């Protein structure tokens, strides 16, 4: 079960007092931080406040439809009466805005990472699957009318962090929030499709090359796919377009562990590992100097391709 409803009195007080607010998302931004930030800005603007969104990293193109009209250039951050960080588990996640954030006298953060180090003056940390579930609760407690401009970004946040309700963190709270949001957005299946099904052509072609190189070990319990340097040239894709490839490897029938190896430089391979329940791939990532979670981890291994494969396969073998 989810945590009980938080009491947002302190946050609401801060927000009501401020006539201008700067909202900052985390580095390598995703649908949940942008959903949180955009919904918050839209809500604040509906209250007649000046609200702007800040991101240290560029917006991934598939999320640009959300941030349009909200995202500002980095200048001006800190000039507002209140700063809010959303979906940032620690100060480092705020990126280059961190030093301005810590120096400001009115700071609030709304986050859902239990490891949060409470770097703001007022901190709200919940354990919901997505941060947007908490933003939704805050806005409901503020008594704000839920418009489409607010509900759609929040919905995007819920589906981003729950993997469209497929990740293990999905719970009743995610569904009940999504249901309330869906009642406002109406049919949003096109947004869901574009986020979870659509591929840029270059990425689509790159995936084909990666899958063609699939190898199986240990009676098919391990599947390794590889993206070689020349594959980027052949497909026209960039190195940041391999996100999610490893999921194809771990989801082959009979596979317990999936690996995607990406040649990120000369004799250098970025290794992403995923496992099904019961297999701890973070052990293997840690062995090679990387880290991560039990079922999702990563590391960088240097060497000739076949040697790197041999070494990784040998370490995985200890898990079976």
Nearer to Mn ion, 28 or 228 (CB): 28
Nearer to Mn ion, 89 or 290 (CB): 89
- Measured from the CB of residue 172, what is the shortest distance to Mn ion in angstroms? 18
- Residue 106 has which token pair? 């009115």
**Which of 140, 97, 116, 137 is CA-nearest to residue 3?**
137
Nearer to Mn ion, 157 or 298 (CB): 157
- The residue range among 83-91, 136-144, 196-204, 284-292 that interacts with Mn ion, by the rule CB under 5 A, is 83-91
Q: Residues 6 or more apart from 15 whose CB is under 8 A from it?
A: 21, 44, 82, 108, 142
Which residues does residue 125 pair with via DSSP β-bridges, in sequence order? Answer: 111
Nearer to Mn ion, 32 or 52 (CB): 32
Nearer to Mn ion, 25 or 246 (CB): 25
Nearer to Mn ion, 200 or 296 (CB): 296
- The residue range among 156-164, 217-225, 254-262, 307-315 that interacts with Mn ion, by the rule CB under 5 A, is 156-164
- CB–CB of 261/225 below 8 Å? yes
Helices within 104-171 (DSSP H only): 131-141, 148-161
Query: Does 87 sit near Mn ion (CB under 5 A)?
Result: yes
- The residue range among 5-13, 57-65, 84-92, 114-122 that interacts with Mn ion, by the rule CB under 5 A, is 84-92
Distances (CA, A) of 225 to 22, 58, 88, 274, 320: 42, 28, 32, 12, 19
Other CB atoms within 10 A of residue 99 CB: 11
Q: Residues 6 or more apart from 318 whose CB is under 8 A from it?
A: none
- Residue 66 has which token pair? 């959300």
**Which of 118, 50, 130, 114 is CA-nearest to residue 85?**
118
Nearer to Mn ion, 33 or 297 (CB): 33
- Measured from the CB of residue 298, what is the shortest distance to Mn ion in angstroms? 18
- Measured from the CB of residue 36, what is the shortest distance to Mn ion in angstroms? 8
**Dihedrals phi, psi of 68, to nearest 5 degrees:** -55, 125
Query: Of residues 23-42, which lie at the interface with Mn ion (CB under 5 A)?
Result: 32
- Measured from the CB of residue 37, what is the shortest distance to Mn ion in angstroms? 11
Query: Of residues 111-150, which lie at the interface with Mn ion (CB under 5 A)?
Result: 131
Nearer to Mn ion, 116 or 226 (CB): 116
Residue nearest to Mn ion (CB): 32
Query: Of residues 219-258, which lie at the interface with Mn ion (CB under 5 A)?
Result: none
Q: What end-to-end distance do the CA atoms of the chain give, in Å?
A: 33
Among 111, 161, 256, 263, binds Mn ion (CB under 5 A): 161
- Residue 174 has which token pair? 């995610």
How many residues sit close enough to Mn ion to count as binding (CB under 5 A)?
Answer: 4
- Measured from the CB of residue 161, what is the shortest distance to Mn ion in angstroms? 5
- The residue range among 81-89, 195-203, 267-275, 278-286 that interacts with Mn ion, by the rule CB under 5 A, is 81-89
Which residues does residue 2 pair with via DSSP β-bridges, in sequence order? Answer: none
CA neighbours within 13 Å on the CB side: how many for 104?
Answer: 26
Residues within the interface to Mn ion (CB under 5 A): 32, 87, 131, 161
């Amino acid at each position: 079960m989810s945590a009980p409803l938080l009491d947002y009195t302190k946050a609401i007080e801060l927000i009501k007092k401020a006539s201008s607010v700067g909202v900052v998302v985390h580095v390598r931004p995703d649908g949940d931080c942008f959903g949180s930030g955009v919904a918050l800005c839209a809500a604040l603007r509906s209250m007649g406040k000046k609200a702007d969104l800040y991101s240290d990293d560029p917006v991934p193109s598939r999320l640009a439809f959300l941030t349009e009209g909200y995202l500002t250039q980095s200048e001006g951050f800190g000039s507002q009466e209140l700063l809010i960080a959303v979906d940032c588990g620690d100060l480092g996640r705020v990126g280059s805005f961190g030093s301005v954030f810590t120096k400001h006298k009115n700071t609030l953060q709304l986050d859902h990472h239990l490891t949060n180090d409470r770097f703001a003056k007022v901190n709200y940390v919940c354990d919901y699957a997505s941060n947007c579930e908490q933003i939704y609760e805050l806005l409901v407690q503020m008594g704000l009318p839920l418009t489409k401009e607010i509900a759609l970004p929040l919905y995007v946040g819920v589906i981003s962090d729950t993997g469209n309700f497929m990740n293990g963190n999905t719970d009743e709270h995610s569904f009940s929030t999504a249901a309330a949001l869906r009642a406002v957005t109406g049919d949003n299946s096109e947004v869901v499709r574009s986020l979870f099904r659509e591929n840029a052509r270059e990425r689509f072609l790159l995936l084909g090359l990666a899958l063609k190189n699939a190898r199986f070990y240990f009676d098919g319990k391990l599947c390794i796919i590889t993206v070689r340097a020349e594959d980027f040239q052949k497909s026209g894709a960039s190195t940041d377009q391999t996100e999610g490839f490893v999921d194809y490897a771990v989801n082959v029938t009979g596979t317990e562990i999936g690996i995607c190896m990406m040649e990120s430089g000369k004799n250098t391979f970025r290794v992403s590992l995923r496992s099904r329940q019961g297999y701890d791939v973070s052990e293997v990532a840690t062995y090679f100097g990387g880290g991560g979670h039990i079922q999702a981890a990563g590391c960088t291994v240097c060497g000739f391709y076949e040697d790197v494969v041999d070494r990784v396969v040998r370490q995985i073998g200890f898990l079976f």
